[in-house]
Structure 1
């Protein structure tokens, strides 16, 4: 598809109506990294900035794929998810960008949008790489926020926007994780001969991990795929969580599998809650398979960082096979 991104003139009326008639747009920069929604920084004539989120097909790089119907992490994007999850995290005492205004499609733009606080351009990932001596306080404060999330419990798993209106799931969360992993394996086997050749052994490994998981009936708030690139750090050292549309009630082990992967040596600084080792092992291997399937799928389209995605898939193919 031909992707036409926003220009300054496109957002002038939105800014005037939502921020005040005396506000003028001086710059509009599309920020890199987003795959499902567009993220823009709007410069204003008083030298302040705000962030614009845009949920539109032209901003979404993900091609359609078969999914597990009750997978709460599938297609986790959209203005309603953002609004519900923003409110839940705020109520749990987790710092997120302040929501300034939402604007429905057809009002000012042909897409649903939200204006939020610009919490800055420094990610925790960049701080850990370039100034690790300054990352201690943000890591500790992020750990506090995660413990608040992971001790906020719900009676069932699922997206927050769904749980208030639908009955309890008919099956346990670990069954969803298993089906999700088997679906990703089928995708991967169709695209790369190495996991294809090991497919039966990978299935046996997954079934063995799943068989060791004990039942569970309570679930906590989890971000879904929290890495240090999803945390902004303010000049005061305050961590601000972003990309929150995947927030769901789920196993805390799902979150910690991602955290261990993404934070590496800094993970223990987060002070994790107690975890079930068997559930953690199943979730970690399922995520390895997803980090092959997803990157290979998006690399077939026009995503601009295709090489990075292929390298990510390659690392996880090696990890998936090494576990056997």
Structure 2
């Protein structure tokens, strides 16, 4: 049985971050995370009402049976204190709002895991704000568009995650579109073994992936992207400004990959985030690849003991339907 942190586990850590005068009065483990634990810690004796603790303990990671990964692959699992701190520093330098870091510790003396204590941005998610305060959400969405423009125009001739030591100045001979194709083919094979509809259409989906990849031309510069930016990964602070979270996957890559995910997650509100000049051929390939990833990934997660099983099954089922809808009509 998984053991999660409690008041006793986190009290000393939070006192180290904020001072001996603070007292932890309650701890809530927030739902939804699959790679790290996220805890809201309620406080007394200090000016702030609470903080957030990230814990990258093994017990917090629900992904079963990690397969062999190429460390240079930007899609290899991104989790841990090092990628978090690298992304935190990079985004702060660009003026992109992220929760303020109060303490980071990889010594394992306070906890048997890498941990970070960050500001609790108490305004809730942009996703929730769309329902409760549409005018405030619309303003935050406009500010988010400006943030993304800053990130996507921050470019490099190399692609990949920022924390990888392989970013030594060399340029990969494997293109972004080839990385996406290779991953999509693996996701297709995995999904075909778990979903009958994907099994029946596997040959057509594979042919379509190759066809779309063949249409994509070369590119030599890549923008900085979040990689998984939905409205649930954007908080809104007391001033109404958007704050990015779950930033460990920050990388240089084709910005079309980001925009496909934004279209998927923001739906009709995506028009506020759209930008001109995107490559329609990349969008076509990445759209199908993304849908297949969102079939295979949730089904893989369900091989373990992830608690919100209906949610994951629903995501897989929906994206299987959407992937099949992207096949050309006969």
TM range (shorter): over 0.9
Asked if the contact 1:42/1:51 (under 8 Å) is kept, the reply is yes
Asked if the contact 2:23/2:44 (under 8 Å) is kept, the reply is yes
Kindly provide the CA deviation profile for residues 98-139 of structure 1, in whole angstroms up to 9, marking residues without a partner as x. 111101142200000000011115101111133323311100
By how many angstroms is 1:274 displaced?
Answer: 2.3
Asked if the contact 1:71/1:180 (under 8 Å) is kept, the reply is no
Alignment TM-score, normalising by the size of structure 1: 0.96
Tell me the residue number matched to 1:51.
Answer: 52
Cα gap change, 1:65/1:113 in structure 2, threshold over 3 Å: closer, same or farther?
closer
2:143 to 116, 119, 141: 141
- 300-309 or 219-228, larger mean C-alpha shift: 300-309
Asked if the contact 1:105/1:113 (under 8 Å) is kept, the reply is no
Tell me the residue number matched to 1:246.
Answer: 249
Kindly provide the CA deviation profile for residues 18-40 of structure 1, in whole angstroms up to 9, marking residues without a partner as x. 22111211111111111100000
Q: Aligned-residue CA RMSD in angstroms? A: 1.4
Partners of 2:66 and 2:208 in 1: CA distance: 24
Tell me the residue number matched to 1:20.
Answer: 19
Partners of 1:99 and 1:323 in 2: CA distance: 42
By how many angstroms is 1:71 displaced?
Answer: 2.5
Q: Which secondary structure state, in structure 2, belongs to the residue aligned with residue 4 of structure 1?
A: coil
Count of aligned positions: 323
Tell me the residue number matched to 2:153.
Answer: 151
Cα gap change, 1:156/1:164 in structure 2, threshold over 3 Å: closer, same or farther?
same
Cα gap change, 1:273/1:83 in structure 2, threshold over 3 Å: closer, same or farther?
farther
Asked if the contact 1:222/1:249 (under 8 Å) is kept, the reply is yes
Asked if the contact 1:30/1:41 (under 8 Å) is kept, the reply is yes
Tell me the residue number matched to 2:315.
Answer: 312
Tell me the residue number matched to 1:259.
Answer: 262
Partners of 2:150 and 2:319 in 1: CA distance: 31
Unaligned runs of 5+ in 2: none
Describe how 1:108-127 pairs up with structure 2 within 5 A. 108-120=110-122, 122-127=124-129
Tell me the residue number matched to 1:39.
Answer: 38
- 164-173 or 242-251, larger mean C-alpha shift: 164-173
By how many angstroms is 1:222 displaced?
Answer: 0.3
Alignment TM-score, normalising by the size of structure 2: 0.94
Q: Does 1:63 align with 2:59?
A: no
Unaligned runs of 5+ in 1: none
Asked if the contact 1:253/1:276 (under 8 Å) is kept, the reply is yes
Tell me the residue number matched to 2:220.
Answer: 217
Tell me the residue number matched to 1:104.
Answer: 106
Tell me the residue number matched to 1:11.
Answer: 10
Asked if the contact 1:67/1:74 (under 8 Å) is kept, the reply is no
Kindly provide the CA deviation profile for residues 185-208 of structure 1, in whole angstroms up to 9, marking residues without a partner as x. 111011122211211111100001
Partners of 1:16 and 1:320 in 2: CA distance: 49
Q: Does 1:281 align with 2:284?
A: yes
Q: Does 1:196 align with 2:195?
A: no
